[in-house]
Structure 1
């Protein structure tokens, strides 16, 4: 009789373990798109994926894609989600085209913006102040020619009558390198930039005021899901509704770690381990 009881208990344990394994295996793998060249997209997506894997039990496949393909992927259901939708302006055309084919789970970053950025030690407070030059050598250090912030800076040079100013096209990496060199010497410098970006975690910077509104108002970075996500992974849909960064410093911690050499997966795991309370807030039912 005793042996029969032991066998019965053992069988129950095996069944319970098997049921748990079957439950985990029954959860589908989720595909999430991101833009590899955007430091905020990389950081946000990898942290979200880590939480989904660790706390919600879903396998996640991350897909580095171009912006248009990212939107198309979610709209057609080939991707389950993305966390890099700049709204309402930057990705306005994508939203207008696809809004009936996707689900907007709300902002994961609420004060995204583009504009001209200077170190805090610089005297200028407004774009108009650049007219007095004050050591800027009539140069604004830019990023890739044709990008949104570069086109807006061409407008700003005209609208603020910055006669003689040259917008220097380069790349995101070249821009931050030049900013770093000037910062070390406390030289005046103005660069094109945006928030969220890791440079705000590394240096003390600020946007120049834009009273003419050339660069537009602040935007949000939203989490967007496919129409089928809620039925496919309801816990993940609930998580995306709650997931958001408190500030540029919070996401900046992850972006800076990646910039300084950490693999995105490792930086995400470290951040999740260091901030259990924030993760608990995001995954609460």
Structure 2
């Protein structure tokens, strides 16, 4: 009887210890939002997610959403984080509405820029030049409605008195139309940004913006929900450290995806090839 009792107590202790280990190992799944069609958003988010999964031990669910929904999701806690907050200008309105409901972990990319982009072969040098040039068919090819660059382009059309129509589409549709026009050496003007793979593929330039509608260089920031610090403290620490060293570094991932690699595969391969950089972010 005594032996039986000892065995029962021992079994209970083992089970309790096992349950304790299981609880200690259990980590919540994190929901991270990104804008599908934004090459930098896709590349940055997938690399960050791969690091969080591999090195920090969290399951990550990536949610492709529109810009406004991404901000709203983080502000309400339905999304734990996003790595695509363009500040201070492009997403200035979203930041003003939500700054008390989110946590800014700082930039993951510096020297970002938005504006109107044309091929180098066209004559226009400034946004104001579009007013007199009829070769563009009074049209600017845009991306998804509601994104920061689209809101600023609506303002630019008014401020410069262009009388142009802003055509909403997607990042992929915009680059497709740009590519078609480029192949025919036709005038075309699109909304765009740096970092983006299209600058490696074609010879392009930003139109000068003397009225500073689009602002100067910006940063792309990582922003989390108010609950993230307590929900996943290691991830919050990682987001403070995670930053691309240059446009060429993120460009390696963007180009791989553009050339047909699946985003998760491109991210996994980049993480495997750059252990020292990953270590800097996660130590």
Measure how far apart 1:79 and its partner are.
2.7
Measure how far apart 1:210 and its partner are.
0.7
TM-score (norm 2): 0.77
CA distance in 2, matches of 1:186, 1:209: 21
Gaps of 5+ in 1: 1-17
Measure how far apart 1:123 and its partner are.
4.6
Structure 2 vs 1, CA of residues 160 and 26 (structure 1 numbering), >3 Å: closer, same or farther?
closer
Alignment of 1:260-275 (within 5 A): 260-275=259-274
Measure how far apart 1:187 and its partner are.
4.0
Alignment of 1:1-285 (within 5 A): 22=22, 25-130=25-130, 133=133, 136=136, 139-143=139-143, 148-160=148-160, 162=162, 166-167=164-165, 169=167, 171-172=169-170, 173-284=172-283
CA distance in 2, matches of 1:214, 1:105: 26
Give the secondary-structure state (helix, strand or coil) at the position aligned to 2:96: helix
Gaps of 5+ in 2: 1-17
CA distance in 2, matches of 1:239, 1:64: 22
CA distance in 1, matches of 2:69, 2:169: 22
8 Å CA contact 1:24, 1:57 repeated in 2: no
CA distance in 1, matches of 2:278, 2:270: 10
Measure how far apart 1:148 and its partner are.
4.6
Measure how far apart 1:94 and its partner are.
3.0
8 Å CA contact 1:200, 1:249 repeated in 2: no
> Which residue of structure 2 lines up, in the alignment, with residue 5 of structure 1?
none
CA distance in 1, matches of 2:213, 2:220: 20
Measure how far apart 1:142 and its partner are.
3.6
CA distance in 2, matches of 1:145, 1:63: 18
TM-score (norm 1): 0.77
Give the secondary-structure state (helix, strand or coil) at the position aligned to 1:58: coil
Number of aligned positions between the proteins: 264
Structure 2 vs 1, CA of residues 188 and 269 (structure 1 numbering), >3 Å: closer, same or farther?
same
CA distance in 2, matches of 1:140, 1:76: 34
